[in-house]
Structure 1
Amino acid sequence: MTLVQADQLHRVFRMGRGAEDVTAVNRVSFAIERGESLGLVGESGSGKSTIARILVGLERPDAGALTVGGQDQLARPRGRAARLARARAVQMVFQDPNGSLDRRLSVAETLVRAMRLHGIASTAAEARIRTLALLDRVGLTERHAAARPHELSGGQRQRVAIARALAVEPELLVLDEAVSALDVSVQAQVLDLLSEIRRDTGVGYLFVSHDLAVVEEVCERVLVLYRGTVVEEGPTEQVLSAPQHAYTQLLISSTPGPGWDPERVVRDRITFTQAIALDAL
């Protein structure tokens, strides 16, 4: 069953003062099934984060349509209840939890505020029970409930950010480079956690990343973006093992690994850039 349906999303940033406008998202269409994890990959400036921000309502497209659970995400919400319902359906986990967590609040206060805002917990006792369950879900304990963000490690802070997103029981989590700031061992733990959460809850993921290895681990399907345009899409294993588009091939060859040749990557990038320039003429 389809959870997210995006059709021909288009977003142009007007630079003004004679500067050339930037097309961040160019007629992008995709769907996410319930419980599915879809990866968005591409280099900086490819439009990944703009699409993520459109999904959670932080950006509005200039054109296109977007539904989540059959509800129009682009129509102006009428009243507070409609705004909260839309926010509850799609939650976002950012790359840097320091920027999204209030350093003045304890972990428990952060989770309780999210639940009460959306009417999830009606009493203090219920809020406490749900808070401890959420902490357990993300691999934290009751001891962490009283801590403030600066008292936690980077991996623990990201687990709190995930718990806060899950606190309102969303249908979709948008994860924007959510593990890229973590060291390798902690990253692996958080990826395992995300896989477990999706398996147990059925929540869908839009997983935004530049790291192909991470996308390969957690996503069934992938969209490859270049300058706001989808250049390739399909099952993750198929796209990454037998890429058809030159840009996808370049992304894969740019990833360090056995037999990696940085000089060849530079040559391939020059060739690709020249080919794109010729096509634009």
Structure 2
Amino acid sequence: MSLVEVSELHRVFRLGSRGRASAADVTAVNRVSFSIDRGESVGLVGESGSGKSTIARILVGLERPDSGEVRLGGVDRLAPARGREARLARARAVQMVFQDPNGSLDRRLTVAETLGRAMRLHGIAASSADARTRTLALLDRVGLSERHADAKPHELSGGQRQRVAIARALAVEPELLVLDEAVSALDVSVQAQVLDLLSDIRQETGVGYLFVSHDLAVIQEVCDRVLVLYRGTVVEEGTTAEVLGAPEHAYTKLLISSTPGPGWDPERVVRDRMSFTQAIALDQV
């Protein structure tokens, strides 16, 4: 059995009055299905508005789909959680790392306090002393030290804050980690360090990743498989090597040609985009 099974996920943002259907409604996710095995890293790629982040938010529980099914370890993630223990178990199973680490870090708390509270809330640590020991071990895993444990977020660099955000997500021992543009705001050198860290953590813990990114180089570095989204629909999927090395869909080819690199021709990209848009309008893709 796969760790995650997503079936026919559908989400429409109603822009009409009082939530009624209208011609201006936006279909953010259109009948999307995929799976993630334990210890596997799956990438979601596409331009802004393709539905990547909406899918990520649905898996974490920050968004509700209009229809479809999400199962984690065979358990329905969309069914109402009954009672505090069930809600905590659901939150613990899937954790998220955002693009901006400040969204998950309380500026009033030290790093140790942030991680310790999460551990005690979810029953990972039995006491404050136990939480401190576990916190230092976890920070060591993400390349930080005891000095960082006693710092507050504003006293850390951007790369250090993102490492703390990853540690915060891992503190409750999740089965799935959802990373939404988690390295896009980092400098290239720091980004490489964080990607290496994520690779090591996956090997050590067996946690599964859903990696949301517009950066194909990042996806190529950390993902086993990839899904290409266009306007909420999966237009191509397969192993990362297959999809990025020998793309079949015109939109995937456009994404790859739009990535700057040796021999990159921005004028050709503009022409390719115009041709793709025309083909879409004529329903030829």
**Could you state the TM-score of these two structures normalised by the residue count of structure 1?**
0.98
Alignment of 1:76-155 (within 5 A): 76-155=80-159
Counterpart Cα distance in 1 of 2:211 and 2:192 = 15
Match of residue 182 from structure 2: 178
**Stretches (4+) displaced over 4 A:** none
- 1:88-124 per-position Cα deviation (integer Å, ceiling 9, x unaligned): 0000000001122110000000001111111111112
In the alignment, structure 1 residue 14 sits paired with structure 2 residue 14: yes
Counterpart Cα distance in 2 of 1:83 and 1:121 = 18
Which runs of 5 or more residues in structure 1 are unaligned?
none
| SS of residue in 1 equivalent to 2:210 | strand
Match of residue 262 from structure 1: 266
**CA deviation after TM superposition for structure 1 residue 249, in Å:** 0.2
Counterpart Cα distance in 2 of 1:69 and 1:149 = 34
Deviates more, 1:47-56 or 1:116-125: 116-125
Supply the RMSD in Å over aligned alpha carbons: 0.9
Counterpart Cα distance in 1 of 2:250 and 2:121 = 47
Letter in 2 for 1:227: R
| SS of residue in 2 equivalent to 1:173 | strand
| SS of residue in 2 equivalent to 1:279 | coil
**CA deviation after TM superposition for structure 1 residue 131, in Å:** 0.5
Letter in 1 for 2:37: E
Counterpart Cα distance in 2 of 1:106 and 1:277 = 53
Among 63, 66, 69, the residue aligned to 1:65: 69
Counterpart Cα distance in 1 of 2:66 and 2:128 = 43
Alignment of 1:240-255 (within 5 A): 240-255=244-259
Corresponding residue pairs, total: 280
Counterpart Cα distance in 2 of 1:175 and 1:51 = 12
**Could you state the TM-score of these two structures normalised by the residue count of structure 2?**
0.97
Which runs of 5 or more residues in structure 2 are unaligned?
none
| SS of residue in 2 equivalent to 1:55 | helix
Counterpart Cα distance in 1 of 2:141 and 2:73 = 25
**CA deviation after TM superposition for structure 1 residue 19, in Å:** 6.0
Deviates more, 1:117-126 or 1:238-247: 117-126
Deviates more, 1:150-159 or 1:125-134: 125-134
